[in-house]
Every structure is written in structure tokens, then in C-alpha cells.
Amino acid sequence: MTHVTLRSEFEDLIDPYAPVGQVGTGFDFTEGPIWHPLEHFLLFSDMPGDVRRRWDARRGVVEVRRPSNKCNGMTYDADLNLIVCEHATSSLIRERPDGRREVLASHYDNQELNSPNDVCVHSSGAIYFSDPWYGRMPVYGVERPRQLGFQGVYRVPSGGGAPQLLVDRYLFEQPNGLCFSPDERILYVNDTVQALIRAFDVTADGALANPRVFASGIRSELEPGLPDGMKCDQRGNVWVTAPGGVWVYSPAGNLLGKVRLPELVANLAWGGPDFRTLYLTATHSVYAIPTKVGPRHEPYMSGKPGGAGAASSTAVPNLATGEMRIDPQRCAMIIQDMQNDVIMDGGAFADSGAPAHARRQHVVENVRRVAEAARARGVAIIHVWFVVEPGAPGVTLNAPLFEGLVDSKAMVRGSWGAAPVSGLEPRPGDFVVEKMRMSAWEGTRLETILKATGRDMIINTGAWTNMSVEHTARTGADKGYFMIVPEDCCSTMNADWHNAAINFALQNVSVVTNADTVIKALG
């Protein structure tokens, strides 16, 4: 089956001829897929059959719960407790591995919820869910009168408590799939009846603001399918069930392409050992398709039972045997100060020798190669730029570096000098962090991004080796991050300064390696 490319970017996400494999069939109506990151199995629900099943490559499909209270959407929290939307009980449930069952939400304003449908977990631990009334219909739920007169989207605070209504009561007809953008600044919620996706800004207190239509007209007179399940990939693209399979939208709302399946698709989730297999619950069957891109990093993906979600069971990189392995889901890549004023001829610091050393190091090409490989494997890419306003307000003249920056009128916002060098511009899904100090950590949102995306390994690249790169590595090591410095992805004013940092200071706070080794280690 050939998938449909509408924009060239689609083929960076999935091969247009990617095979559609059937992992199980013969079900009534499948929903709610979720992959266990440690035990490597897929859970999915069959609402009309009132059963929950699991699939793994060794045992195939087995039944794990009957009755299942006609469960629908499922996910895990950071401690790998299962979060379940139950149609029959109108409840959002937490199931712990030891069998304990906790009701997270069942009522709003003393009225029963309609039927929690889909759910996602914020890095803060707060749980967001949609509440259409499909679970009060025959077949997909238990037919009974509705108590609420509207269909909402809710948030359960990280510490528990009553669900908080986040949207206008009458904004949605049937809110359904929902997902966060990679940086959790946006929550997407679709409406099956209205055939559209809305986007909301997520405020500091977890509320939603600035509602707007992200995509509309997700319907067809020629084939069945409407918005239902929805996920965001690591680059910020939105994958939503739709006529013929799954439609993929860019972060700007452009329709990039369509993933084609032989049955009506209800939901989707990434899984597999590297989270590069897209599992799709499609009416009577469950399908699997290989992708080139992975999901946005959910809190459960680096979780372990009963423990802190930021921890992982994967070993840290090790070069003692000449081999290194890096878990892409735990890793971020920093591309720091790769700006025209810093390393290019014609830049404010060109007389320092920095452009010549950057060329000898092939630093732009090496960083680009590592970044391409890292993106393809799900590594978070973070561009760190030194940017000042005209006149450099706020820059203290307490060090020669800052004095030179102000005197040279360098790194001014909007200027050619502050722009990233050609070939290292941010791609969709990348993060950009601005600073006014040498270290990437000082006064920036770098650590917020790392914690939100569950990253504790950092590939540290950029300019200058003995300044920004070294300062960032030292602080990162002190904070408990595992720092990796590919030396041919760094440059400074001359080889002597570069070698001094690489051979002495950076050896004590990081693994020093090279671009080819990092690319191989990412798998």
C-alpha cells in the first residue's frame, strides 16, 4: 500500500512505501494503544467486546482483562501506572502494577462525567483528558442518560483533586484525541463531529489559553474516517486519524501527507524498542508501520515502576571498551553559538582566527551530520544562541569577553551576525534557547526543556571549545547530566586553545569522542 505524499517533508517522517503489517485481527473495535517502554508490549482495548488485550512479538495477542469496563484511551504516568478511560463507569482510573485501582476523576460539579475518552500526561504529573459522550451510546459503552449538558476537556492536578474544566462548555461537540507539542507549550484537541483540531497555549499553571483552529475539514465523502486518536511526533508534527488512515500536519498546520491503511483507524501510538514503530488500532485489527521519526517524549518513556520518571534503566555511555551506546530517548544535542559573528568570515570576531579554525575542524559539516542522525533517532535538538538587543542592555562588562562583544556590536538580534550559520538552521521540532552568558545554563530555559523531555544525556557541540562548550560541560556535570563532547564538532580561535580544553578540562567532566562515534552510538 502506497502512502500519500503532499509535501516533501512527509518523506522525512515515513517511507511512502512503508509496509503495513497486521499484528492481530478478529476484534470488534480496537482502541487505546499504548506501549510499555520496559517490558516491550502493546496494550489495546476492544470496547464492544469489553476486553483489554496485549500483544508482544513472542506471545502474540493475549487477553489481560475481561470485563474492562469498556475502556478506551490509555497511557502510563511517569511511574508506569496505567491510566485508563472507562466508558462503562464514566471514570478516569489509575491502575497500579500490584492491582490497586484508584479513581482519578468521575464527576464534575456533582454530575457524572460523560465518558472519559482519551488521555495524556504532562511532565508536571497533571493528567489531561477529553469527555465526549460516546460511552453512553450502545455498543461502545453503556446506554444511559447524560447528566452533564456539555462535552469538555479536563485537567487532574499532579497532586490529585477534582477535575478542572479547561475549555468553554460549548466549544466542542465531541472532544476526542488530545496531545501535547514536544515542548508542552501547546495542547492539541480534536473534535470528531466538527472534523477539526484546535490548539491551545498551555499556561504556567496548566490552564489553556488562546484557542484557535489548527486544522479543519478532516473528512471525506469518498471514504470513512474522522478525527479520533491523535499524537505529536518529536518534531512537532501532528498525526491524526482521518479518512483512509492517518493524516499528518506540520506544526504550522500544513497537511504533509496521509498514511494509508485498509481499515478505519481509531487511534495510534509509537512503540518498539526504539519507538520507531507506529501501532494503529483499526476497527477489527491492529497494524504496525515503521517510521523515520519517533514520538514527542512522554513522561512514561523514561519511567520505571514506582520511581522517578526522569530515571532510566539504560546504562550510561561507556568508552572503556572502545564502544559507546547512547539511548536516543534520554539524549539531547546542544548546538551552541554556531552563529555568523562567532565562526564566519565577515563576523564580528573574524580577526580572532575563529573562522579558520572552524574550517580546519569541519565543524559546521560535522555538527550537521550528527544533528541529522540525532533527529532521525529521536534525540532532542537544542540550539543555544547568544543574542543581545541593540546597545547590549543587560550585558555586564565584568569580563573581557563581554567587553569585546559590546565593543564589536556583535550578536545583535535580527542581524546577520546573530543568525545561525548556513546549514545549522533550526528544523521543525527543534528548540531554541537564548542566553547572554558563556554557559548555556545561566539564565536560560535549557534545564526546563531537558526535564520536560526527560533527557539526562547531552551531546555538547558548538563554539568556542574553551569557553561556551567547556563552561556548559562543567555545569552540566555538576547538575548530574552525562556530558558527551565530540571534539570535531567544536572549534575555537586556534588549535592550541582547542586542544587545551579537549585534552585537559573536558576530560574531567565529559566523555570526549568524535562525530562518527556518536552517530554509531545512536544506533
pLDDT digits (tens, 9 = 90+) for 233-257: 999 999 999 999 999 999 999 999 9
Residue 176 among known ligand-binding residues: yes
Answer whether residue 370 is part of any domain. Answer: yes
User: Are residues 291 and 344 part of one domain?
Assistant: no
pLDDT value at position 306? 59
Q: Is 409 helix (H, G, I), strand (E, B) or coil?
A: coil
* Residue 208 within a domain: yes
Q: Going by DSSP bridges, is the β-strand pair 511-513/482-486 parallel, antiparallel, or unpaired?
A: parallel
Nearest to 360 by CA among 465, 468, 492: 492
Domain endpoint, select from 259, 286, 302: 302
- Domain presence at residue 310: no
Looking at the annotation, which residues are catalytic? 228
CA distance 96 to 203: 30
Q: Which domain holds residue 297?
A: 4-302
Q: How far is CA 157 from CA 50, 166, 451, in A?
A: 29, 12, 18
pLDDT of residue 505: 86
Q: Are residues 199 and 263 in the same domain?
A: yes
User: Do 368 and 408 share a domain, yes or no?
Assistant: yes
Q: Tell me: do 288 and 349 sit in the same domain.
A: no
pLDDT at 419 over 50: yes
Q: Was 298 annotated as part of a binding site?
A: no
Other residues' Cβ atoms within 10 Å of the Cβ of residue 173: 14
Q: For position 362, which CATH number holds?
A: 3.40.50.850
In the chain, helix, strand, coil percent, each to 5? 20, 35, 50
What whole-number distance in Å separates Cα of residue 46 and Cα of residue 284? 9
CATH of the domain at 246: 2.120.10.30
Average pLDDT over residues 477-488: 93
Q: What is the pLDDT of residue 317?
A: 44
Give the DSSP per-residue string, 54-65.
EEETTTEEEEEE
Cα–Cα distance for residue pair 28/169, rounded to 1 Å: 32
Distance of CA 24 to the CA centre of its chain: 28
Asked whether residue 298 falls in the same domain as residue 336, the answer is: no
Whether residue 26 has pLDDT greater than 80: yes
- What are 333's strand-pairing partners? 381, 459
Confidence of residue 503 (pLDDT cuts 50, 70, 90): confident
Residue 466, annotated as binding a ligand? no
Residue 228 marked as a ligand binder: yes
Residue 452 confidence (pLDDT): 86
pLDDT for res 112: 96
pLDDT > 90 in the chain, percent: 82
Residue found by looking up cell 517524549 in the block: 297
The whole-number pLDDT of residue 2 equals 84
Same structural domain, 202 and 338: no
418 located within any domain: yes
- Could you tell me if residue 45 is inside a domain? yes
pLDDT at site 304:
63
Residue 90 backbone class (left: φ over 0; alpha: ψ -120 to 50; beta: rest): left
* Number of residues written out for the chain: 523
* CA distance to 9, 115, 203, 222, 268, per residue, from 244 (Å): 20, 26, 35, 9, 14
In a domain, 48, yes or no: yes
Determine, yes or no, domain membership for 324: no
Q: Is the same domain home to 292 and 370?
A: no
The pLDDT score that the predictor gives to residue 184 is 94
